[in-house]
Structure 1
Amino acid sequence: MKPQENEKRHIQNIIGNSNNFLGFYRGWEMFLDSANHLSVRLIHRLPDDYLEVITEKSVKFETWTQVGFSYDGTGNAAGVTLYMDGESQQVSVVSDQLSRSILPIDEYTAKIDTLPVRLGKSIVFFS
């Protein structure tokens, strides 16, 4: 990614599969916040059943940066690692309240569903 300094400051979604309101936003997403810090959310239901971590360091403007994350499946924020240019980053925990599955559900049947991974766009309205 290569954020531009002259862009309006807002949340910039990078990749994810989070659902919409009717699906309780369930899923996951990686994004830049308005201060260019890399963040990951794993969501069962917003605003009370999710985990989110954010990097201490912001992504540099006008510079290509490779970003990524890993998750160990424990349901704890400590199990999420964020990377910039292959280096793990120091993170702050925004929320560590995930207690159930992040698998997306169909908004009408509430059964487990598959959602495509979206690059650069998310359905989340709760940010």
Structure 2
Amino acid sequence: MKDALDRKIIAALQANARQSTAKIAAQVGVARTTVHERIARMEREGTIKGYTVVLGDSDALPMVQVIVMLAVTQQDTPKIIRRLEDYPEIKLCLSVNGEFDLMLSVEAPRIEDLDVLVDELGLIPGVNRTKTHVVFGRRIDRD
């Protein structure tokens, strides 16, 4: 169970996972060994599954983005989400209400790559229907 200190440590890691435990400790007001032990525990328990690289915007890496809506069989949802984690192109997965159950934000260098990916998503057992929207641009982006 995460407490307030765990959440502060996670927030510090999300801001910069490469910063030292000493720097995180100074930010959250505890000893470096406490931060080290907390991070190790959260990694063991699966709260922290890994670390990643966030790429900056670059004209060298233009990306096409689509929103994919999935209608799924409810009892298959956990299994489907585990499968979705295998696709690095999926940047976000949200549970939503209404006619669809999951909303995915998906990015790839070419629309053809996304076409193949959406076809694969439709073949996952428990996925009943998909609907895809191409993103033309970002009007508000607070990330």
TM-score scaled by length of structure 2: 0.25
What TM-score does the superposition give when structure 1 sets the normalisation length?
0.27
The structure whose residues are more often strand, as a share, is 1
Where relative contact order (Cα < 8 A, 6+ residues apart) is larger, the structure is 1
Structure having the higher helix fraction is: 2
